[in-house]
Structure 1
Amino acid sequence: MKNIYFNHDGNIDDLVSLLLLLQAPDIKLIGISAIDGDGYIDPAVEACRKMVDKFNLRGDKLEVARSNSRAIHQFPKEWRMATYSFNYFPILNESGEIKTPEAALPAHLDMIDKIKKSDGPVTLVMTGPITDLARALDEDDSIQSKIDKVYWMGGSLDGHGNVVSVDADGTQEWNAFWDPEAVKRVLDSDLKIQMVGLESTEELPLTDELRQHWASLRKYPAIDLVGLGYSLIISVPNAELYLWDVLTTMSALYPELVETRQVKANVITSGLASGRMFIDPNGKEITEVTKADKDSFFEKIDKILERQ
């Protein structure tokens, strides 16, 4: 059985990823932590605790850790607000109380604690900035021996980014731009890394057809929550959202869903290009996701979320 520790930054895709990890069969979720990135951390931590209360199908013993890591470059506040609305959904607040506790340790130390106490190798799934892992390695790099693989949503290796800021040249992906030094620290480690970049999910846009599909299955509480969550995302013409975080999570659960290539990568840590990842023959060898099996991806999501 695969042991998974999940670290995320609290926006809709991250919370949908948590929902999948709470309901997926044949895994053990050993830890959850949220970082103050693409979603504000207070509602993110609360929403996670409420989701564990309601959707922890396997009954894993869980608490939610709060990161105290801080951004070098913070996400736009307009992107981050959806977490507040998600946390207010009636489906998560029916009982009027939260039973799942908040962890005593900050996220990077909680990560170390949960990994070292695990009864076997741990898979790290990370759908936000990678800072907590970098800090954990600085604190105790012996955890590398117990980490089987890191699945990270971050970066872009084809030269295009999603950062629009006066202090950036636009070639960066936001999770890498949030803390470029942390990306460098992890690339300098001995860890096996599989990366979902901006270019990895072109088959998986958030479309009106997909929204309607979830609406048609809202009799399942987990799918109802997914549909509600993505209703907070406003589609902008020529700026489609792709399911980057969910693909990262699903590829950790079902590696056969994706095609990959081996590349050597590096990151720039200063100047207007800070946070830009690029192919470098002297860089860290990583696995990059290049394509997803769209039909199987959505079939497996439905199967997981229909379990409750």
Structure 2
Amino acid sequence: MKKRTLLSIFCSCLLITFLSSAHAASPRPVIFDTDMAIDDWSALLVLAMHEELELVAVTSNGAGETRCGPALDNIGALLDLTASGDVAIACGDDYPMDGYFAFPEPWRQQADTLSGIALPDSTRTATEKHAVDVIHTTLADSDQQVVVVATGSLTNIAQWLEKYPADTDKVERLVIMGGAFEAPGNIIVPGFTDNHPNTKAEWNIFVDPEAAARVFASGLPIEVVGLDVTNQVKVTKAFARDFKTVAETPAAQFWDAVLDDNDWFIESGEYYFWDVLAALVALDPAFCQGDMAPVTVSLETGSPWQPSSLRSIPNITYSGAERRHLDAEKSGITRTGGDNPAVKICRKTDAERAFSLFTRTLNQG
């Protein structure tokens, strides 16, 4: 009897250990909210291909660098390069929550066309539901907390918080690529936005500062991957050369073609792994070494700078209010301090490990 009892206990312990290990090894569900620009494509591939993550939904909007129609097509085409299963795909509004700010048109055309890299049409079907509703249903259907990665304007995230405030308990972490604190802003880009008056803002926050202000006030567990840390992951000619020698999978070969087409961007010294680093932080928080602080976003009415303003944006916002002209020099700037809940601001990362893990992930079978 004693031997049977000990055997039963031993077997029970083995079963518990096995189940615990299986649970610990289960992929973490991820929602990717993206404006499908050049660095978003590679971030999407990382999130879709790493075995420790399960990409469950990809949402976009027309307020960032891409437009909804091309975004939905391109998301499906890129997912086809991976072994992803059923992934919900949706788009939100075509315009920011407030203001008339927009990315330069040449950047938007590149985003819409995948930088001219042709991919087969996807058989995946995007839902006609609004991205906000897809975020909600995806969270509701998950049996565990979900990591949300946002690498474009925060339009969808702010509208989701407004419509479904009770969903926040289902979010493990919100990783945001956006903002600048000690680092200079990136609104001024030679040849595209010369003479822009804003020297402090970062594009994802600048294009919809109203949305960003709401998200940073939300109390969500946020990690901010801003320019302070992404400046440490510059894409160089040496990296592109080394990547080419190991590009074996369809995903890696696509990305190699993108690097070839954007050799001028790499040579300019202005190309960084902005969104890729956010994806890696979602995978492993150790990529974000930083500190906790409240973040506020400046939001001031005033004079727009016409080359970065889209005049075709409707004068009425999604909520029925009159759209305001935001001050191009003063709006969209992220600062620490204020009354918002503290968030984690990434200050340092392991760049060598980041490039290595990216290369390995895109080339895994």
After TM superposition, is the score higher than 0.5?
A: yes
User: How far 1:167 moved relative to its partner?
Assistant: 7.3
1:171-210 matches, within 5 Å, as 171-210=200-239
Question: Could you tell which deviates more after superposition, 27-36 or 157-166?
Answer: 157-166
2:292 matched to which residue of 1? 262
Aligned partners of 1:43 and 1:87 also within 8 Å = no
Q: Look up the equivalent residue of 1:301 and give its one-letter code.
A: F
Matched, 1:304 2:361: yes
1:1-308 matches, within 5 Å, as 1-36=27-62, 37-55=64-82, 57=83, 59-71=84-96, 72=99, 73-86=101-114, 89-90=117-118, 92-93=119-120, 97-158=121-182, 160-164=184-188, 168-233=197-262, 234-235=264-265, 239-270=269-300, 271=327, 272-308=329-365
CA distance in 1: counterparts of 2:136 and 2:115, whole angstroms = 28
> Residues 237 and 298 (structure 1 numbering): CA distance in 2 closer, same or farther, change over 3 Å?
closer
Aligned partners of 1:20 and 1:304 also within 8 Å = yes
Aligned partners of 1:199 and 1:290 also within 8 Å = yes
User: How far 1:237 moved relative to its partner?
Assistant: 6.2
> Residues 258 and 138 (structure 1 numbering): CA distance in 2 closer, same or farther, change over 3 Å?
closer
CA distance in 1: counterparts of 2:252 and 2:61, whole angstroms = 25
Instruction: Give SS of 1:54's match.
Output: coil
Aligned partners of 1:9 and 1:41 also within 8 Å = no
CA distance in 2: counterparts of 1:249 and 1:108, whole angstroms = 21
CA RMSD of aligned residues (A): 1.9
CA distance in 1: counterparts of 2:45 and 2:237, whole angstroms = 21
CA distance in 2: counterparts of 1:123 and 1:211, whole angstroms = 29
Aligned partners of 2:236 and 2:269 also within 8 Å = no
User: How far 1:43 moved relative to its partner?
Assistant: 2.2
User: How far 1:85 moved relative to its partner?
Assistant: 3.6
Aligned partners of 1:130 and 1:183 also within 8 Å = yes
Identity, in percent, stands at: 24
CA distance in 1: counterparts of 2:74 and 2:187, whole angstroms = 27
Instruction: Give SS of 2:81's match.
Output: helix
Q: Look up the equivalent residue of 1:155 and give its one-letter code.
A: G
User: How far 1:225 moved relative to its partner?
Assistant: 1.2
> Residues 70 and 237 (structure 1 numbering): CA distance in 2 closer, same or farther, change over 3 Å?
same
Which has the greater radius of gyration? 2
CA distance in 1: counterparts of 2:156 and 2:184, whole angstroms = 25
> Residues 236 and 89 (structure 1 numbering): CA distance in 2 closer, same or farther, change over 3 Å?
closer
> Residues 157 and 178 (structure 1 numbering): CA distance in 2 closer, same or farther, change over 3 Å?
same
User: How far 1:307 moved relative to its partner?
Assistant: 1.4
CA distance in 2: counterparts of 1:214 and 1:40, whole angstroms = 30
Gaps of 5+ in 1: none
User: How far 1:218 moved relative to its partner?
Assistant: 2.5
Question: Could you tell which deviates more after superposition, 200-209 or 4-13?
Answer: 200-209
User: How far 1:69 moved relative to its partner?
Assistant: 4.3
Aligned partners of 1:263 and 1:285 also within 8 Å = yes
Q: Look up the equivalent residue of 1:231 and give its one-letter code.
A: D
CA distance in 1: counterparts of 2:273 and 2:230, whole angstroms = 7
Number of positions where the alignment pairs a residue of Structure 1 with one of Structure 2: 302
> Residues 238 and 100 (structure 1 numbering): CA distance in 2 closer, same or farther, change over 3 Å?
closer
Alpha-carbon displacement from aligned partner over 1:158-209 (angstroms, at most 9, x marks no partner): 2621124677432111111111111111111120110011111232111111
Gaps of 5+ in 2: 1-26, 301-326
Aligned partners of 1:162 and 1:174 also within 8 Å = yes
Q: Look up the equivalent residue of 1:79 and give its one-letter code.
A: W
User: How far 1:238 moved relative to its partner?
Assistant: 6.0
User: How far 1:84 moved relative to its partner?
Assistant: 3.6
CA distance in 2: counterparts of 1:88 and 1:63, whole angstroms = 25
Instruction: Give SS of 2:169's match.
Output: helix
Q: Look up the equivalent residue of 1:129 and give its one-letter code.
A: S
User: How far 1:134 moved relative to its partner?
Assistant: 0.4
TM-score by length of 1: 0.91
TM-score by length of 2: 0.78
Instruction: Give SS of 1:136's match.
Output: helix
